[in-house]
Chain A
Amino acid sequence: MDLMFLNRSALLPRAVGMIAVWACLAAGGMAADATLPGIVVHPQRVALDGRFERCQLLVRPVTPDGTEAETIDDLTGVARFSSASPDVATVSDAGVVSAVANGLARIDVSVGDAARTVEVEVSGVAGPARTDFERDILPVLTRAGCNAGVCHASQYGKGGFVLSVMAFDPQVDFHSIAIASRGRRVCPTNPDGSLLLGKASNSIPHGGGTRLAKGSADYALLASWIAAGAPGPSGSPVAVTGLEVEPAKRVAVAGATQQIRVVATYADGRRRDVTGWTRFDAMDEGVLKVSPAGMATTVGKGQGAVMARFGGEATIATFVVPFAAAADLSGWTSPHPLDAVAGKKFAEIGLTPSGLCDDATFLRRAFLDAVGGLPTADEARAFHASTAPDKRERLVDELLGLTGDPARDRYVDRYAAWWSLKWADLIRNNSAVLGESGMWALHNWLRESFRMNKPFDRFVTELITAKGSIFASGPANYFRIANNPSDLAESTAQLFLGTRLQCAKCHHHPYERLSQDDYYGFAAFFSRVASKNSAEFGIFGGETIVVVNPSGEVSHPRSGAVMKPTPLEGEPVENAEDRRIALAGWLTTPDNAWFARNVVNRYVAYLLGRGLVEPIDDIRSTNPPSNPAMMDLLVAEFRGSSFDVRRLMRFVMTSRLYQLDSQPTAGNAADERFYSHYRVKRLGAESLLDGIDEATGVRTKYPSLPLGTRAIELPDAAAANTNPFLVTFGKPKRASVCECERTPDENLAQALHTLNGDIVATKVADGSGRVAKLVAAGTPVAACVEELYLATLSRPPSALEAADAAEIVAAAPSPTEGLQDLLWALINSKHFLFVR
């Protein structure tokens, strides 16, 4: 396996060296001409059918066989282009060929002495211009940004001119452009006098500035359409069915350029170069930037993407800029499959991972990640005393309840509490919405599900097909939290597919192929679920029953069509008894890639501090995983285990990747995406308060729950509004299904709260707390210090720390005060506040 990494990384210096040669060229260093063996132009033949058609040429060097395509340099920016037949077709300095008249043309392309020709065939220019509103006009407006959400597609438009977001509603757009305001925006007898062109070219003062230069090809295209009488939408446009970008992936050093070419495929099979009407956006501005014409420039190290959007479709071109020419993976010899895919990524991206973390760090990390709390001082002592070579694996199995020995599976309750909390946050269990009884029913179902390690497909199926009394059936409460087809569709898609459908409710999703059809087709799964109140039914009276009605439909807001229940990007499915059963069947079928990907991504984020996809519940084709191979591997593992979440966690937690030190090295400090060092994270509100309780020996009492109940065991969201500590540290109020409701950022109020707040101060000074008990028992100072370190940082102090602590205590007015100060400082130290 090591050999394979070396091979792969050995390629990089060569590629990078080559780029350096061409970079000389780019800088005008023509002395390098002799080394350029020749150039390749793509496409080699161009066919332009129509007066306004264009085609982007790409130029690259001829390269030795075996060079990986993605490392090949792009010469488009430095090539010279000229047309031998400008009366038929012209070519711009940027390599864009434009139609002029029917016929054949030759384009000459050269870089230094290397030259090539491209043949161009132009047709469809003679006769009246054939401009189509949907195919030709709307893309111009979209590309120019006119229908962006902050411009004319904002709620009231701008200056009375309203367009639909990214042209999703051609009828609205046509009405606004050609009919509204008594048609004054277009003037067929004098196109240049049209308000549309005057504003767009800023010859009439325009709040949005110049969007289309007078004399540009797109200006001429709009003018031609206006001159033709501004014909409206055909009503049956040939839809765009796919977009291809070339190149789809590029590996380069920083400072490299790459022209991107975009080809659209239409439903009638036609392929068309649409580079000139594509909107390009840099998805990671730290790595690259991109010009409106699709010329990308790498600016920093890492991995980023250019998103290309045209005609309701979106795709990306991935750019990899290695952190270093080669990664040192000599120590990376783990047999774990996860480490193999991680290692390949390290090699590609040029990152050398940090070393393994020590046992004390691992102990604390594994406890906090698996069961959401600290080990006790005694548990920590026992772990450190063990000499078993596999003690980390044994600990993981114990924490996850996978030892097979009931006596050792003693953390199952804590595990169930911790993961119930996580999923209760996402599902939004809240007595303010469900009442006490409903909240407890859902809580108990969650606890039971995690205690028995219910396979995740069963967990989801039970939840989304639940019915009956919300007091008796915990999961039925899901249909009270969101209680209409739209909200249920959005929540379900976000929670169990990792897809944010919300955008598509009102308009075509701007970054996705998802349309309103997809949204309302998905909502139709929930059109027949309802609830009814019963005054008589149930021992508590006034109970709510979730029922499935025999009828009920969702219709499309614009066409009014009744939508058939349809999975995303799938064919309609029906179930006469309950449509939700059909949905659950589709969701959990093993070949539904979304389902497993979503769970995998969440658990990777919980354990490794960052999802393969971020935001972790926004999985879409234009937001790819940082390491696709790792995603595929984990998805296969998760499916192979029949959706066993504990096994998924064990798979990750026993990898070398999970056990890396959080201390970054000079070479990997800049990495935030590839797990080259463990990503430190602040303890969540509940774990932190539990940890402080544990460390100080003083438990927090929560209203109407027995003393000793941990914060992670709180069933309800009420404490997120009432407990000052949990409020300050951002316990989710369970108002949103978004993972982002729990904010990981630390803030000033939190710092003040632990440094200067009365909660920590009171617990530290408590007369029956840990310090008071140690002192009362006459424990020697050194033993007290060791105990405080074990209770807070789960490790004994180092020799230096022990000596320093002894000094601190000796210098204090009394041992009690000194030990209190020490405990207070340990609680406020980074090694306590963070999982590291």
Chain B
Amino acid sequence: MSDVKKFMFVNRKAPYGTIYALESLEVVLITAAFDQDVSLMFTDDGVFQLKKGQQTKGIETKNFSPTYRALEGYDIEKLYVDRESLQERGLTEDDLLVDVKVLSRAEVGALMDEQDVILSF
């Protein structure tokens, strides 16, 4: 296909407190059907979406964190995390439930410049 575009989903919100994280994930899954070049960026509180060990029984909300592990099966393999955002939240790569590439702020900005479409959540 000649008209493949580079799509980046930028995730900046923590899960559950607002609907953004779940909405983003659903749009990502739908976008996967269109064979585009999709990447996911997790920055600011968005890095919390990937935290291991989420247990949502007590808030009677669907725990959608296991779905991030399904992305590989959808051929979505470009997952990026901003290093400073992790550090500001006391998190390391080991705290995350999927394999990601950790980038500096400068690398994040450069990667954003390469995209055809950016969707922010």
State yes or no: do A and B come from one complex. no
List residues of A whose CB falls within 8 A of some B CB.
none
